[in-house]
């Protein structure tokens, strides 16, 4: 029973991690809270749903399609709501991305209506029994895609020239620019990568819950923020581990304490981290800088 | 109070505008010391529930329950304010967000006030509009006087640079706590007014979206003067209603003007454009927020525009 819940928690945590990676990447390079990320996630889920439902593609194409559309959406978001807004006022980009969040959510409601869509069964359903644990093929698929993406991203950040440029920009804009990094381009690429990953996370979430709705963005956004903080702002591997951790804690508290208390625990963790370890579990920044 | 003067629809719009203005001031108080809170809806919830318990369960009159709601939220605000002193910026934003979510979960699982079913049958207060606008006048006087007082200047200096303010002898801890507690108390009052107007509240009434809305009131109105929050809340609450009025006005156009080409097309286009159903209206709202932050990131009313306004008044007097 315990191991079973542990596995369920990891599944939930995998999608938290993917959302939080985008947040933490964007926070890392721009030092701003980008609020529309949850809605990008929602758009990704809808793109995946429609590719599967109407274009009849398989799930891999749907994932790729959602990734591409969301990457474009992320670039658009950057050009529309982040870049033109003055940087010296910390609240201005927050409000403009809140504006974009409202636009995207209501556009989805306007186009699709306020109802839920059920996500079709695209993966062959099968159950695998490993000792006391039962794992479904969908769960394995979700976990596999999430982990592949995370490893790929980690390699990209650590091993490629562009990844190094991203880390340099996250460290300090001026210094990076002096060393010949095109800061604006790196920021744009960060938005593209973060949003693309959020799109994949959206499709995976649709698969997991077998439903998609225009309202799924806000919850993902809030959970993503908590995970970002738990892992340390701007810390990508931190966000990956913290997501899995939060998912596990939520599922375990829901299983052993109660479903109403599930959210209570995630927010309690948020507050405790903020008060006692504001750099996150693995982070490097301090609350004073935030 | 104005019972005979205006119809119920207008009255309820005015009441919710008033409550939004009060809520905007609740955000403004901590904001003056640089504390940005995304948890004002949580404090509104405390005020709403505390006052509703007083009127519905204890049978106290509203006039007594309203300050109790405010004090309850204020006390919790000060308790929360202590740990919040240590953190800033995004961290404080997330802390207040988490707190208001925890308040929601507590409400949801508290059976005494109805739990998930919500708090029903809160006594309706017929004089909400009077209370609202009375309170707004008090708040405006309070913040206008605060702006010119030493405490207000201390708050401004903390917002600019906390370390420098401390070095100049400002008691940063006390000032920030005062600001946070005052903000929470004002939010409690707004929540109490809200609960006794709608007569029903539940755990989702005071959600994160409401906190976000309150934040946008102040940023759009302008957070640097004491008039900004009122202007922001007023404009953003009434804007959708105004859009509806434009369409009503359009309907008054005589048919003989619009029953030929191309006037009929223009009329139809305008009519459809102004036919703001909820989703479309909110999309327009989002566009306005983005444009606003690009064009006027300091809000509608800034210190400069206030100076300009008073200059205009002065020159009119001395012309």
Q: Does the structure show a pLDDT above 90 at A66? A: yes
Give the gap in angstroms from C-alpha B229 to the nearest C-alpha of chain A.
15
A228 token code pair: 């970002």
More confident residue, B129 or A261: B129
* Residue A246 contacts B, CB cutoff 8 Å: no
* Residue A84 contacts B, CB cutoff 8 Å: yes
B226 within a domain of the structure (yes/no): no
ipTM > 0.90 (yes/no): no
Q: What local confidence, expressed as pLDDT, does residue B91 receive?
A: 83
* Residue B60 contacts A, CB cutoff 8 Å: no
Report the pLDDT averaged over residues B73-81.
92
Q: What local confidence, expressed as pLDDT, does residue A290 receive?
A: 41
- Which element (helix H / strand E) includes B76? helix B62-84
How far is Cα B306 from Cα B304, in angstroms, rounded to an integer? Answer: 5
CA dist A2 to A131, A134, B308, Å?
Answer: 13, 12, 67
Q: What local confidence, expressed as pLDDT, does residue A89 receive?
A: 80
Give the gap in angstroms from C-alpha A132 to the nearest C-alpha of chain B.
34
* Residue A222 contacts B, CB cutoff 8 Å: yes
Reported as a pLDDT band with limits 50, 70 and 90, residue B319 is: low
Q: Are residues B56 and B127 in the same domain?
A: yes
Give the gap in angstroms from C-alpha A170 to the nearest C-alpha of chain B.
17
Residues of the domain holding A193: 2-289
Q: Does the structure show a pLDDT above 70 at A38? A: yes
Under an 8 A CB cutoff, do B294 and A84 touch? Answer: yes
Give me the total of CB pairs closer than 8 Å, taking one residue from chain A and one from chain B.
131
* Residue A181 contacts B, CB cutoff 8 Å: no
Phi, psi of A271 (to 5 degrees): -70, -40
Q: Does the structure show a pLDDT above 60 at B2? A: no
Q: How many domains does chain A have?
A: 1
| Partner-chain residue, chosen from A109, A222, A229, that has the shortest CB–CB distance to B279 | A109
More confident residue, A179 or A56: A179
pLDDT tens string A267-286: 888 888 888 877 777 765 54
Reported as a pLDDT band with limits 50, 70 and 90, residue B276 is: low
B247 within a domain of the structure (yes/no): yes
| Percent share of chain B, pLDDT over 70 | 93
Beta pairing partners, B119 = B201
Give the gap in angstroms from C-alpha A56 to the nearest C-alpha of chain B.
29
Under an 8 A CB cutoff, do A270 and B294 touch? Answer: no
CA dist A75 to A88, A181, A196, B11, B293, Å?
Answer: 21, 19, 10, 44, 19
* Residue B172 contacts A, CB cutoff 8 Å: no
Closest alpha carbon within chain B to A114: B279
Residue A165: which CATH number?
1.10.3470
Q: What local confidence, expressed as pLDDT, does residue B312 receive?
A: 65
B232 within a domain of the structure (yes/no): no
Q: Are residues B106 and B160 in the same domain?
A: yes
Reported as a pLDDT band with limits 50, 70 and 90, residue B314 is: low
Pick from B46, B44, B39, B55: which is nearest to B19 by CA?
Answer: B44
pLDDT tens string B13-59: 889 999 999 999 999 999 999 899 989 999 999 999 999 999 988 88
Q: Give B117's contacts in chain A (Cβ within 8 Å).
A: none
pLDDT tens string B235-263: 888 877 776 677 777 777 777 777 777 77
Q: Are residues B198 and B304 in the same domain?
A: no
Q: Does the structure show a pLDDT above 60 at A289? A: no
Q: What local confidence, expressed as pLDDT, does residue B138 receive?
A: 95
| DSSP of A200-264 | HHHHHHHHHHTEE-TTHHHHHHHHHHHHHHHH-TT-HHHHHHHHHHHHHHHHHHHHHT-STHHHH
| DSSP of A125-165 | --EEEETTEEEEHHHHHHHHHHHHHHHHHHHHHHHSHHHHH
Q: Are residues B100 and B174 in the same domain?
A: yes
Average per-residue pLDDT in chain B?
86
> Residues, chain A, total?
290
How far is Cα A240 from Cα A24, in angstroms, rounded to an integer? Answer: 10
Q: How many domains does chain B have?
A: 2
Q: Are residues B183 and B47 in the same domain?
A: yes
More confident residue, A94 or B137: B137
| Partner-chain residue, chosen from A80, A94, A107, that has the shortest CB–CB distance to B283 | A107
Q: Does the structure show a pLDDT above 70 at B277? A: no
How far is Cα B311 from Cα B299, in angstroms, rounded to an integer? Answer: 20
Return the SS3 of A70: helix
More confident residue, A114 or B300: B300
Q: What local confidence, expressed as pLDDT, does residue A86 receive?
A: 86
Q: What local confidence, expressed as pLDDT, does residue A288 receive?
A: 43
B1 within a domain of the structure (yes/no): no
Q: What local confidence, expressed as pLDDT, does residue A29 receive?
A: 84
Q: What local confidence, expressed as pLDDT, does residue B316 receive?
A: 67
| Percent share of chain B, pLDDT over 90 | 38
How far is Cα B35 from Cα B58, in angstroms, rounded to an integer? Answer: 36
| DSSP of B96-113 | HHHHHHHHHHHHHT-GGG
Reported as a pLDDT band with limits 50, 70 and 90, residue A198 is: very high
pLDDT tens string A90-137: 788 888 998 999 899 989 988 888 788 888 877 777 888 877 778 888
Residue A15 near residue A208, CB atoms below 8 Å: yes
B109 within a domain of the structure (yes/no): yes
Residue A234 burial by Cβ neighbours in a 10 Å radius (0-12, 13-18, 19+): buried
Pick from A224, A198, A199, A207: which is nearest to A44 by CA?
Answer: A199
Q: Does the structure show a pLDDT above 80 at B180? A: yes
Q: What local confidence, expressed as pLDDT, does residue B274 receive?
A: 66
B56 within a domain of the structure (yes/no): yes
Q: Are residues B72 and B198 in the same domain?
A: yes
When scoring A20, A98, A100, A286 by the number of chain B Cβ atoms within 10 A, the one with the most, hence best to mutate, is: A98
Residue A136 Cα to chain centre, angstroms: 23
Beta pairing partners, B201 = B119
Q: Are residues B194 and B54 in the same domain?
A: yes
B1 token code pair: 């109070």
Give the gap in angstroms from C-alpha B215 to the nearest C-alpha of chain A.
8
CA dist A114 to A107, A110, A117, B303, Å?
Answer: 10, 8, 10, 42
Residues of the domain holding B290: 237-317
CA dist B81 to A215, B42, B117, B183, Å?
Answer: 32, 14, 31, 10
Return the SS3 of A117: strand
Q: Give B76's contacts in chain A (Cβ within 8 Å).
A: none
B225 within a domain of the structure (yes/no): no
Q: Give A24's contacts in chain B (Cβ within 8 Å).
A: none
Q: Give B298's contacts in chain A (Cβ within 8 Å).
A: 89
Q: Are residues B208 and B283 in the same domain?
A: no
* Alpha helices per DSSP H over B109-170: 128-148, 150-160, 162-167
How far is Cα B265 from Cα B14, in angstroms, rounded to an integer? Answer: 35
Reported as a pLDDT band with limits 50, 70 and 90, residue B83 is: confident
B223 within a domain of the structure (yes/no): no
Reported as a pLDDT band with limits 50, 70 and 90, residue A44 is: very high
Average per-residue pLDDT in chain A?
86
Q: What local confidence, expressed as pLDDT, does residue A268 receive?
A: 85
How far is Cα B45 from Cα B103, in angstroms, rounded to an integer? Answer: 8
| Percent share of chain A, pLDDT over 90 | 29
Reported as a pLDDT band with limits 50, 70 and 90, residue A287 is: very low
How far is Cα A272 from Cα B43, in angstroms, rounded to an integer? Answer: 20
């Amino acid at each position: 029973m315990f191991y079973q819940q542990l596995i369920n928690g990891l599944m939930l945590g995998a999608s938290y991690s993917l959302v939080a990676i985008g947040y933490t990447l964007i926070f890392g390079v721009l030092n701003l809270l980008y609020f529309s990320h949850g809605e990008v996630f929602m758009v990704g889920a809808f793109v995946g749903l429609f590719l599967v439902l109407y274009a009849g593609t398989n799930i891999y194409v749907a994932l790729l399609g959602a990734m591409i559309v969301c990457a474009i959406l992320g670039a658009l978001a950057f050009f529309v709501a982040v870049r033109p807004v003055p940087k010296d006022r910390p609240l201005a980009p927050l409000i403009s991305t809140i504006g974009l969040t409202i636009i995207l959510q209501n556009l989805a409601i306007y186009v699709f209506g306020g109802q839920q869509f059920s996500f079709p069964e695209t993966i062959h359903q099968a159950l695998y029994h490993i000792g006391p644990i039962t794992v479904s093929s969908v769960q394995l698929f979700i976990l596999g895609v999430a982990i592949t993406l995370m490893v790929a991203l980690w390699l990209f950040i650590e091993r490629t020239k562009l990844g190094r440029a991203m880390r340099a920009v996250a460290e300090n804009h001026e210094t990076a620019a002096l060393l010949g990094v095109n800061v604006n381009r790196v920021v744009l690429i960060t938005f593209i990568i973060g949003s693309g990953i959020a799109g994949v996370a959206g499709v995976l979430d649709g698969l997991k819950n077998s439903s998609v709705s225009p309202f799924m963005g806000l919850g993902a956004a809030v959970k993503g923020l908590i995970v970002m903080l738990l892992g340390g702002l701007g810390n990508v591997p931190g966000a990956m581990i913290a997501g899995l951790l939060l998912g596990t804690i939520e599922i375990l508290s829901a299983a052993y304490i109660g479903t109403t208390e599930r959210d209570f625990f995630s927010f309690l963790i948020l507050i405790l981290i903020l008060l006692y370890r504001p750099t996150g579990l693995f982070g490097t920044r301090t609350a004073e800088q935030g | 109070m104005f019972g005979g003067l205006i119809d119920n629809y207008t009255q309820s719009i005015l009441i919710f505008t008033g409550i939004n203005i009060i809520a905007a001031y609740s955000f403004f108080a901590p904001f003056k010391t640089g504390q940005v809170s995304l948890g004002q809806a949580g404090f509104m919830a405390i005020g709403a529930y505390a006052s509703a318990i007083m009127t519905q369960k204890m049978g106290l009159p509203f006039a007594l329950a309203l300050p109790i709601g405010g004090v309850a939220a204020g006390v919790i605000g000060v308790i929360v304010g202590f740990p919040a002193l240590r953190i800033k910026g995004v961290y404080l934003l997330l802390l207040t967000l988490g707190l208001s979510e925890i308040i929601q979960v507590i409400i949801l699982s508290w059976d005494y006030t109805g739990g998930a079913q919500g708090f029903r049958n809160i006594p309706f207060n017929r004089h909400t509009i009077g209370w609202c606008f009375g309170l707004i006048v008090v708040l405006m006087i309070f913040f206008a006087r605060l702006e010119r007082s030493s405490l207000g200047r201390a708050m401004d200096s903390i917002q600019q640079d906390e370390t420098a303010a401390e070095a100049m002898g400002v008691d940063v801890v006390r000032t920030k706590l005062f600001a946070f507690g005052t903000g929470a108390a004002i939010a409690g009052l707004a929540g109490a007014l809200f609960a006794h107007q709608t007569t029903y509240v539940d755990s989702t009434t005071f959600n994160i979206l409401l906190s976000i809305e309150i934040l946008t009131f102040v940023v759009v109105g302008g957070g640097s003067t004491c008039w900004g929050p009122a202007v922001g809340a007023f404009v953003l609450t009434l804007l959708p209603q105004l859009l509806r009025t434009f369409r009503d006005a359009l309907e008054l156009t005589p048919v003989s003007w619009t029953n030929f080409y191309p006037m009929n097309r223009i009329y139809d286009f305008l009519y459809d454009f102004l036919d703001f159903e909820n989703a479309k209206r909110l999309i327009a709202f989002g566009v306005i927020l983005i444009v606003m932050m690009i064009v006027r990131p300091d809000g509608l009313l800034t210190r400069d525009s206030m100076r300009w306004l008073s200059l205009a008044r002065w020159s009119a007097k001395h012309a």
